[in-house]
Structure formats: structure tokens, C-alpha cells
């Protein structure tokens, strides 16, 4: 997919002309740190979404405020919008404890949103990161003007290549960041819920070694569930569900909830 990323630095944008120029995906700057919200976030989102462009958002990570508060700020800015594209964490500013901040931001954002998140960074900046985030989708800035012809690194899932910061797109009066994306940036609208290991005994009272599956099923009502086990115990996974239902189940299950996949 052809894509761009924009912020207040791009000024007023005619997204109708942007779409007519062949752009399909738009990443919009949402927040930076804890207190900064991009002044063009709302209008950029409203106009891009109105034109039917796939929209997504990114947060610029800084080292001057707690990563958990940054994650909350980012989520609050985008939670009521159509996240067609997976949210992105923009990591391009180095400071002491950077990787700790990245990991803490990701953990908090996933906890409060249950959305997948990706990493945006420059090729040259990856030396400041490590393979603890190797499995996260990577949107890589490398201005070689040759989409996808990039050297390998520890990231295992490259989903985007920003190949120019001086692109020209109809509807935008300034230079524009130009990108090629693959389907890995699409935010999933469906998923399934996996539980923690389930309590043993009658209604979880520990009275015997097995799990009372009739009791477990009460929490899922008419949702089909599938039992799995290993040497540590038994857990269940649901059928494929709309993400809204997955989030309802998270609240219903409480301490039984493990993850949405």
C-alpha cells in the first residue's frame, strides 16, 4: 500500500486530493510525551477518515515523563477513532533507559487497549534497541528510495518502509514522508480470548484435580470454547470473535483472562 504520515508540520491537507493521487494509508501524529497532543490530530483524522483512507496513529516517545503516562495519553487520544492501522510507537530519540521506557510503554498500552502495536524507527537507530522487541511490527525509515530493499536486522516483521521525507503529494503543500506498507499494518477487528490456567475442583474449590468445565462455560454463555492443557494445567480458548466481544470477555473473566490473540 502507498502511504504517508502527517502532523501539524504539514499544515492544512486536502485529503480528497491525497486519495486521488493513489495514497491508501495515512498515519497521523497523535501525541508526544504526556502533555503534547498534535493540534491537527482531530481535523486530519476527520478529513482522512471521511475520504475513506485507512487511518492510523503514532506516538513520539520521550524520556522526560513516565512511559505509562505516555501510553495512557496516546490511548486516550485515539480510543474513539477508527484505528484501521495498528498504532505505532515512534522511537528515534535516545536517552538513558530507552529500552526500559519502550518495554514499559508497550506493556501499558497493550494492557489498556488490547491493540497490537508496532515500532517506527530509523535504520541507524536500531543499534540503540535490542531483540526484546524483535517480534513487534517494524516500520523502518531508510531514505534509499528503493522500497523494501533493506538490510536485515533483528526485527522479524517489517511492515513498512519510509523511503523519503521529501515526497510530493497532491493536496499537501509541504514536503511529505512517503511510505510503502504491507498488510501487516492492518489492525485486526477479530480475535480470540485465551484464559489463564483454570482453577481445579468443583467451582474452583480445589476438591479434585480436574477442572469443572460446566462452571467455566457459565462465563462464556453461548460462546464456543476449546480446552488445552500442558503439565501446568488447563486453559481454554474461544472461537474467533469480534474485538468488542473479546474486550467484554476480558472484563467478565477478570483474573482468568490471559490475552487476546
5 is catalytic: yes
Distant-in-sequence, close-in-space partners of 37: CB < 8 Å, separation ≥ 6: 30, 31, 73, 77
Q: Where are the beta strands (DSSP E) in the chain?
A: 2-6, 25-32, 36-37, 54-60, 88-90, 118-122, 138-141, 158-167, 176-181, 190-191, 193-195, 225-230, 233-238, 241-242, 257-260
Nearest to 41 by CA among 25, 23, 57, 61: 57
Q: Is 92 tagged catalytic?
A: yes
Identified catalytic residue from 24, 90, 92, 221: 92
Residue 91 contacts residue 121 (beta carbons within 8 Å): yes
Residues 60/31, Cβ–Cβ less than 8 Å: yes
**Alpha-carbon torsion angle 59, 60, 66, 67, nearest 10:** 50
Cα–Cα dist 138/136, whole Å: 6
Give helix 67-78 / helix 98-113 axis angle, nearest 10°: 40
Residues 16, 20, 21, 22: is their CA dihedral positive or negative? Answer: positive
Pairing assessment for the beta strands 190-191 and 241-242 based on DSSP bridges: antiparallel
Q: Determine which one of 5, 38, 84, 212 is catalytic.
A: 5
Active site residues: 5, 92
Amino acid at each position: 500500500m502507498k502511504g504517508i504520515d502527517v502532523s501539524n508540520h504539514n499544515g492544512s491537507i486536502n485529503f480528497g486530493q491525497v486519495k486521488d493521487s493513489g495514497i491508501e494509508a495515512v498515519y497521523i501524529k497523535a501525541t508526544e510525551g504526556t502533555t503534547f497532543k498534535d493540534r491537527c490530530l482531530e481535523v486530519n483524522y476527520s478529513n482522512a477518515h471521511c475520504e475513506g483512507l485507512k487511518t492510523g496513529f503514532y506516538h513520539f516517545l520521550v524520556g522526560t515523563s513516565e512511559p505509562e503516562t505516555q501510553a495512557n495519553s496516546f490511548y486516550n487520544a485515539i480510543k474513539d477513532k477508527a484505528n484501521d492501522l495498528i498504532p505505532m510507537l515512534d522511537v528515534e530519540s535516545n536517552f538513558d533507559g530507552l529500552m526500559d521506557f519502550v518495554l514499559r510503554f508497550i506493556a501499558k498500552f497493550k494492557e489498556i487497549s488490547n491493540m497490537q502495536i508496532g515500532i517506527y524507527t530509523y535504520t541507524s537507530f536500531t543499534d540503540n534497541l535490542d531483540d526484546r522487541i524483535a517480534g513487534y511490527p517494524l516500520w523502518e525509515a531508510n531514505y534509499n528510495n528503493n522500497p523494501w530493499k533493506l538490510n536485515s536486522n533483528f526485527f522479524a516483521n517489517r511492515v513498512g518502509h519510509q523511503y523519503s521525507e521529501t515526497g510530493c503529494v497532491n493536496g499537501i503543500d509541504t514536503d511529505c514522508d512517503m511510505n510503502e506498507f504491507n498488510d501487516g499494518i492492518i489492525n485486526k477487528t477479530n480475535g480470540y480470548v485465551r484464559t489463564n490456567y483454570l482453577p481445579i475442583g468443583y467451582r474452583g474449590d480445589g476438591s479434585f484435580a480436574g477442572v469443572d468445565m460446566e462452571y467455566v462455560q457459565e462465563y462464556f454463555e453461548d460462546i464456543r470454547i476449546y480446552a488445552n492443557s500442558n503439565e501446568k494445567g488447563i486453559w481454554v480458548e474461544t472461537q474467533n470473535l469480534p474485538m468488542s466481544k473479546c474486550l467484554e470477555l476480558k472484563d467478565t473473566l477478570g483474573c482468568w483472562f490471559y490475552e487476546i490473540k
